[in-house]
Amino acid sequence: MKKIKKVIILVIIFALCFGTLTGCGKNEEVQVDTGDTTSAEQSKDTKEDEIQMDKEQVFRYSDNSDITGLNPMLNTTAPDNGVHNFVLETLVSEVTDEKGNTIIKPAAAEDWKVTPDGTVYTFKIREDAVWSDGVPVTANDFLFTFRTMATPEVGSTNAWLFDGIIVNFGESLYNDGTNPEYNKKPEDIGVKVIDDKTIEFTLVKPYGYFLDLLTGAKPVRQDKYEEWGTGYGSSIDKVVMNGPFLLESWDQNVQMTFVKNEKYWGASDVKLQKIERKLIQDPATAAQALISGDIDVVGARDTEWIDLINADGRFDMSLTPGNAPEFFGFNCSNKYFKNPKIRLAFSLAFDREKYVEDLRNGKAEPLYSMMPSVINVGEIPYMERTNGKNEVIKDLLKQYPDPKALLIEGLKEEGFDPDPAKMDVSYVTRGTTEYSKKSAEWLLQQWKEKLGVEIKIDMIEWNVMWDRVHAGDYDICTSGWGPYYNDPNGLLELYEPVNGYFNSDKSGWSGPDADKFAEILAKASNSPDNQERAELFVEAEKILVGTAVIVPTYTASSTFFTAKYVKNYHFNSISGVDYTKVYISGR
């Protein structure tokens, strides 16, 4: 895979995790056996005859950026994606259920089948799925979409998602005529039309998160894409839509207005008649807009605004954990930190709950695993699927109640003076902000009290820190990462010793443990069974986190307020709101 492209996009995806959360879809039973429950096992929606809805069904929200366009091939910023989720529907939809969990739901495809080996997915497209001009949505629309994404000259910004996933996709995407390994054409990718309403995907190997990736491939229709060329998606009259809503007006840098798509296959279940997306860049102005009734939901960071909105009483507050873990890592080739006992002593010698309370004002989720609670394996949260066994640090805290004794034992093993005060250790920060300084000093105090070690703090800008990490020039570094798909592999693969972003050259981690870790990830990547994969991921965490190659600390939480009259509005940091279920009652 093209690593540089991935790193750039990861920054964009990380931003998306904290941007506007949108989504669409309809919940139906899916006959797929991957070790998951089916969508039919989710709790049933409230019956329409049991709810009281306002006559005016209008939902209003704000974003701080306008979109770049309506072409899903090229316009894939966080604001773009949010709008595309209203007006463009791909085969499946990733939304949040009433419990706050991420689920995959049928969308343009009414159902799908997966072969026992997990490598072939066959989707049946709905007979009543149509474009906004009444033309039926067909398998050829998706074939054209994926072939266009795999065309190098197009420069599709989401295409990298399927490199190494769909057969021959990367070999076509990166075919510039100079590398014999990339010598395929878009017609060679593993996407095939079976009939007008059936499309088949062939994968390189099982990928338990393939459905999650599909949500990043919004369709374009060939005749219109070829007719409008580079102008596709530049304005309302140069895009065809197939989502639950249609873009009615677009006043750039002011407001976008969406109306219910009466031709949408699930229109009878969509309750909102209109959605207004307002552009408000200043957080204080957005908070005031919520209080005055100009918008119905807002994210707030400022403590004063949070307290003010809370005291108002007309809004529900939710604290939503992020999907991007914060952690610090050791240079495992360092004279001290090549010893896992020394690393582990540092990992166990600070209170994560206290960290969150002191440094994040309680607005974060302490991590005892590399995985935040919102990460799934298939449609089931990783933590739930493993019964909490992934939180390996909790077991280690019980096993080693005295981290200083563990540190002294490690120092002796390496032939050093057993007095921790004589250690020479530096900690590089990821920036020079007040928070970076405060958090580093907090850790310094914890390690001094619990271990008797006084570390040196090296305050440097984040880009300089990354340069030093790349060069292996550090003792302890602070870091964080936003995965580009919802699966533990999206984070664990960072430390794959050969191909990971934090490979052996950067982390200094090599030897039997690193080799075993790579073997486990490889085994998990070849399993079509999500329960088996989850158990393998726990084994991988017992090595990576259990020997403290990295030390998870927390994942930040975001505070949101929603007007009480907005019903069925559920979201998390990974998946969007299912706007087909949202309605207004009692504005």
**Residue 19: how many CA atoms within 13 Å on its side-chain side?**
22
Confidence of residue 419 (pLDDT cuts 50, 70, 90): very high
∠ CA 17-22-25, nearest 5°, is: 125
Q: Which amino acid is at 483?
A: P
Confidence of residue 355 (pLDDT cuts 50, 70, 90): very high
pTM, full prediction: 0.86
| Exposure string over 370-385, b if 16+ CB within 10 A, otherwise e | bbbbbbbbbbbbbbeb
SS3 576: strand
- Residue 358 pLDDT more than 60? yes
Strand ranges, E, within 25-67: 58-63
| Cα–Cα distance for residue pair 526/320, rounded to 1 Å | 32
Runs of H (alpha helix) within 201-244: 210-214, 222-228
Q: Are 240 and 221 in contact (CB under 8 A)?
A: yes
- Residue 17 pLDDT more than 60? no
198-204: average pLDDT: 98
49-69: average pLDDT: 91
259-272: average pLDDT: 98
- Residue 299 pLDDT more than 90? yes
> Of 568, 570, 40, which Cα lies nearest the Cα of 270?
568
For residue 372, CA distances in Å to 49, 369, 391, 484 come to 38, 7, 10, 14
SS3 40: helix
SS3 47: coil
539 vs 303: which has the higher pLDDT? 539
- How much is the pLDDT for 22? 31
| Exposure string over 294-310, b if 16+ CB within 10 A, otherwise e | ebbbbbbeeeebbeebe
- Residue 383 pLDDT more than 70? yes
Residue 78's contacts (CB-CB under 8 Å, 6 or more residues apart) are 12, 15, 16, 19, 20, 65
pLDDT tens readout for residues 326-346: 999 999 999 999 999 999 999
Strand 274-279 and strand 255-260: pairing? antiparallel
Q: Which two tokens stand for residue 71?
A: 């072409």
SS (H, E, C) 63-85: ECCCCCCCCCCCCCCHHHHHHHH
- Residue 284 pLDDT more than 50? yes
pLDDT tens readout for residues 477-533: 998 999 989 999 999 999 999 999 999 999 999 999 999 999 999 999 999 999 999
pLDDT tens readout for residues 26-40: 332 233 333 343 333
Q: What is the DSSP secondary-structure string of 400-450?
A: -S-HHHHHHHHHHHTT--S-GGG---EEE-S--SHHHHHHHHHHHHHHHHH
- How much is the pLDDT for 50? 67
Element (H, E) at 286: helix 283-292
Q: Are 41 and 275 in contact (CB under 8 A)?
A: no
CA 107 to chain centre: 20
Q: Are 58 and 276 in contact (CB under 8 A)?
A: yes
Q: Is 569 exposed, middle or buried (0-12, 13-18, 19+ CB in 10 A)?
A: buried
- How much is the pLDDT for 1? 43
| Cα–Cα distance for residue pair 92/565, rounded to 1 Å | 29
Element (H, E) at 299: strand 297-300
| Cα–Cα distance for residue pair 226/232, rounded to 1 Å | 9
- How much is the pLDDT for 462? 86
- CA quadruple 5, 6, 7, 12: dihedral positive or negative? positive
Residue 350's contacts (CB-CB under 8 Å, 6 or more residues apart) are 443, 446, 447, 450
pLDDT tens readout for residues 442-461: 999 999 999 999 999 999 99
- How much is the pLDDT for 144? 98
SS3 188: helix
Q: Which amino acid is at 211?
A: L
pLDDT tens readout for residues 533-552: 999 999 999 999 999 999 99
| Cα–Cα distance for residue pair 331/458, rounded to 1 Å | 15
SS3 572: coil
Element (H, E) at 575: none
Q: Which residue has the tokens 């007008």?
A: 196
